[in-house]
Structure 1
């Protein structure tokens, strides 16, 4: 058989688990045929359980290097805002070479856990002194280079970051590396255009309604090509919601929805503090709610209103954001567990059509993540990227299971990583749990961290 095919005893297709499937793809890494009722043949690549890879829809790659370093209590009450000050100080020191090493380590870890695509919400633009690099897109190119090095697909989202708070408050000195105007961001989008291909997309991200005005958001939206994604932080903290009301008379999601701009191109990240009307509004707009459970838990953000959002037909995806975890299993597990704790019930994430919680969460996160990425991913279907996970069917947790029990067991039992092999664009880049370039990527990261920790 061709090396561009894989026989799956059980493949997770858009309609659910399907037996005896042969997947075919072309040299460009796109699936060309899904052969049903296939017969297993000798000497062909084969696997027991094959699923589409997950999209990590929200990443700040440089923050991977901070994970675990902010868990010491201060003299006053710690919060998102005290963590943010520490993050700003850390961000001031990172060089282009270091951000590439950090991003490569992160993306390798994400791949080994089951993410095959990432949306990079990138705001570390300028040099350490606050001036532009000779190439304004230098830092973004370094992150894209890390994606290419590891094999992960990437949606690069240069961030519009003009203000420190509502009412056009000037940026602080420790935010100087983030500074961008509308023209700056559009220049970055234009300069990154040559990078676009089936593995790399370029969109844009107004940082938040604190950091970008409605007029700026309108201008970026009007200038961006119509097929590109837009992401924004929204309503993450109650302090942010209160400040928005004080400045505009409206809540953040309410204010953004009232522009009439929000549609399926948008991903609203950390839409944590919502009214019932806002929940309905996001769902009706067709936008994706970007839920980053481990970061939202780490920072004490709060709980997304998942049951009402599901009932309204809303689409959601998951991201690892600050990268205290790099596992889609942990994001989805704690998305469900958070709701169980909040509501004091069980098996929250389901619909009448899908009562299996694990299957519902995985399928919905696939769809939402793919939409947020602006790329043809998230399905084992013709024309989509050949991004595939092979689970370790020899692990005790999966041994002897029928396919309809696999996702519930994977997501809700144990902590071992059950991803054995990972294909991205038809290339196997993780084999037996190890990335093909793991040794050199890890060494570069260790060297980078040794230098950063010496500061």
Structure 2
């Protein structure tokens, strides 16, 4: 057993002083509030449950600072992303993903949902091991020390039935059944869960039922993530091809449910919002990416009021900072409505912790409570950003940034300590340099 006396900690979204936690076999064995004296290691600062990054494309980290040059749209950005996708192999992907996941751990992230579609060789032929790229991601997460849900992704079309082309050829398995057979060989462990995703309705074949029906059957009882209505053009194309909105199409084929995560969910009709709410679906908002790409601002509060559950992701890794993602949800709503106070800080902490982990299949994480996985993230409460802010949930949401994290624990193991960022930066520079040479 290992014991820690947390100077201040968030329990159920509220701050408490002097919280003693005992950790046994990677879980909290006891949690006691108001302990004035203890031989346990004292942890200064504000400690939160581990954060969950529900939407990541690890290879996009190689795009930061490069795709922001000049004018353009999501679609011009996509061409730059494809250029990076074409150059990766299992070795360079392992190095890049390891460094990216280490950046996440340094930002307090203890679980990641990796939306993975770089399956095959650039010409579309499988590697000798058809899961070589996915295995690289699983190994990277293990080395970095965080849990991963590998969201292996179905991608069958370049757009509403058109065949994949260019970099997209390496995404395509040919059919949902071939995809199911391939991912059956990927192992799940205590710290790695293999589940699935549909890239988007754009990636469906001409007859969408051929993919959606078997996918819905496979996904029963499993997390299933999907990019949904990120762009107005996606909605228009879906209506033209299939006679329905993306949300309605998924609902009609049984894809929406309480383990479905709709990623972005930006451009929704009233009917779409009702469908997602009635399904109790998760909605993964990625505000720093959505503003970087000019996607728009999704209706987060309306979705929550309808019954959907908010989670947060860093997506393209324009930044890796779940504190920024939390506050951006509220601040973006303020810009749209010209009013303040749409989200309480405790609600946003829940989105980044317990709801996020649950959407990735980790239902036993995200809370500092007996029996839960022992994930702890401590932030400095006397930095130039956090000093004098109250050392509570409002500090975490409206003041802190990733660089305020002083240490991160995952399943009872300390995987990041203050002072390691410089070395992580060097690893990122080296891995990204190899991608661009």
Same fold (TM over 0.5): yes
Matched position secondary structure for 2:110: strand
- Residue pair 1:202, 1:228 contacting (<8 A) in 2 also: no
State the TM-score, normalizing by the size of structure 2: 0.93
**Equivalence map 1:287-326=2 (5 Å):** 287-326=281-320
The alpha-carbon deviation at position 309 of structure 1 amounts to: 1.9
Matched position secondary structure for 2:31: strand
Structure 1: gaps spanning 5 or more residues: 350-356
Corresponding residue number in structure 1 for 2:41? 44
Corresponding residue number in structure 2 for 1:254? 248
Does 1:419 pair with 2:405? yes
Aligned partners of 1:416 and 1:244: how far apart in 2? 38
**1:180-228, CA deviations, whole angstroms, 9 ceiling, x for partnerless residues?**
22133213331112xx22211111011111113343122123234x442
Corresponding residue number in structure 2 for 1:354? none
How many residue pairs get aligned? The number is 432
Select the residue among 136, 153, 157 that pairs with 1:142.
136
- Residue pair 1:264, 1:371 contacting (<8 A) in 2 also: no
- Residue pair 1:288, 1:371 contacting (<8 A) in 2 also: no
- Residue pair 2:100, 2:428 contacting (<8 A) in 1 also: no
Select the residue among 61, 64, 68 that pairs with 1:67.
64
Q: 1:326 to 1:416 in 2, by over 3 A?
A: closer
Does 1:172 pair with 2:172? no
Corresponding residue number in structure 1 for 2:262? 268
Select the residue among 189, 193, 196 that pairs with 1:204.
196
Aligned partners of 2:425 and 2:68: how far apart in 1? 24
CA RMSD of aligned residues (A): 2.0
State the TM-score, normalizing by the size of structure 1: 0.89
The alpha-carbon deviation at position 147 of structure 1 amounts to: 0.4
**1:386-415, CA deviations, whole angstroms, 9 ceiling, x for partnerless residues?**
111112133254446544xx2323432375
Aligned partners of 1:63 and 1:416: how far apart in 2? 19
Corresponding residue number in structure 2 for 1:385? 373
The alpha-carbon deviation at position 432 of structure 1 amounts to: 2.0
**1:279-321, CA deviations, whole angstroms, 9 ceiling, x for partnerless residues?**
1221221110010111111111111112212322321101011
Q: 1:214 to 1:58 in 2, by over 3 A?
A: farther
The alpha-carbon deviation at position 254 of structure 1 amounts to: 1.6
Q: 1:229 to 1:170 in 2, by over 3 A?
A: same
Aligned partners of 1:184 and 1:39: how far apart in 2? 59
Q: 1:387 to 1:414 in 2, by over 3 A?
A: closer
Matched position secondary structure for 2:22: strand
The alpha-carbon deviation at position 433 of structure 1 amounts to: 4.9
Aligned partners of 1:370 and 1:214: how far apart in 2? 30
Does 1:453 pair with 2:425? no
Matched position secondary structure for 2:250: helix
Aligned partners of 2:396 and 2:385: how far apart in 1? 8
Aligned partners of 1:162 and 1:236: how far apart in 2? 18
Corresponding residue number in structure 1 for 2:8? 10
**Equivalence map 1:28-427=2 (5 Å):** 29-42=26-39, 44-73=41-70, 78-166=72-160, 168-180=161-173, 181-193=175-187, 196-212=188-204, 213-224=208-219, 226-349=220-343, 357-375=344-362, 376-399=364-387, 402-403=390-391, 406-413=392-399, 417-427=403-413
Corresponding residue number in structure 2 for 1:352? none
